[in-house]
Amino acid sequence: MAEIRREEEMYRIPDENGDEHLFAEIFRMTSDRSKKTFVVLEPVGAPETEDEDTIEVYAFEIEELEDGEFILKLVEDDEDFDEVMEAFDIVNDEVGLD
């Protein structure tokens, strides 16, 4: 299990090579359906995309551990992913998260 540190809604997440990458939390939700908590993270300092309206984001489930510790797991379940992305898109369209 990789260590994930949180720094005021910023996360340093190691990749498979142990190199850390900085991500900013841009959206958080708890599902009424599954009762799981999810975050959507954006890489900090990611290269610009050709489409200015597109941002690269990753959806993670927060799994709470003891003593306030937690781990982030990439959302792999299609139903969970669709729910998170739908909520993210709605909020982003209404308030502009990026």
28-67 burial string, b = 16+ CB within 10 Å, else e? ebeeeeeebebbbbbeeeeeeeeeeeebebebbbeeeeee
- 12-65: pLDDT as tens digits: 998 889 999 999 998 899 999 999 999 999 999 866 666 666 778 899 999 988
- 79-94: pLDDT as tens digits: 999 999 999 888 878 7
Rounded to an integer, what distance in angstroms lies between the CA atom of residue 44 and that of residue 21? Answer: 8
